[in-house]
Amino acid sequence: MKRLLNSWPFIGFGLIASFTGLMLVPDPEANTYKVDAAQYIITAPTPTTTTTTALPVDGNCDAIGVFAVSLGWPVDQISTLKKVAFRESRCWANMHNTTDLNGGSYGYLQVNGYWCLPNQYWPTGYLQAHGILESCAELLHPKTNLLAALQIWHEAGNSWQSWNTAN
């Protein structure tokens, strides 16, 4: 008991310090503070999310359309894209027409090798210069094929002229 009575000043001091410390803690609900006539706004970082889109199953033109939209194709072009993919490859990603002029044609939209072969205007190849691929063989990958076709579509003034009778 005597020991407890002798320690009360320390306990009291600790309680007072704790209480005072709590009083100095800023209100956690407030997010603005004035410091030296400047106002700072504290905001939490935006959480990031990762979205994964499955590659379309070969032969499924509707799935190619959904996948193409996820890659940036305009929604109003998906009907034509599906028609072209069906006409060119029956919606199969690994189609490679080696008899086509200018390096063959590849993938869903049968992108012509012309777009990835070096030439006088694009010494490394047009699609390489735009960072889409490193070699023509990559056009057999669904994502690369659709991104390459989108770049070509934009190059043609947002038209299907590179696919001749697409419309």
- In terms of Cα–Cα distance, which of 5, 150, 2 is closest to 67? 150
In this prediction, residue 22 carries a pLDDT of: 46
CB 112 within 8 A of CB 146: no
What are the residue boundaries of the structural domains of the chain, listed by start? 2-41, 61-163
How far is the C-alpha of 37 from the C-alpha of 33, rounded, in Å?
A: 10
Q: For residue 151, what is the enclosing H or E element?
A: helix 142-155
Residue 39: pLDDT band with limits 50, 70, 90: low
Highest CATH level, class, for 61-163: mainly alpha
pLDDT, tens only, 57-110: 889 999 999 999 999 999 999 999 999 999 999 999 999 999 987 889 999 999
pTM of the model: 0.68
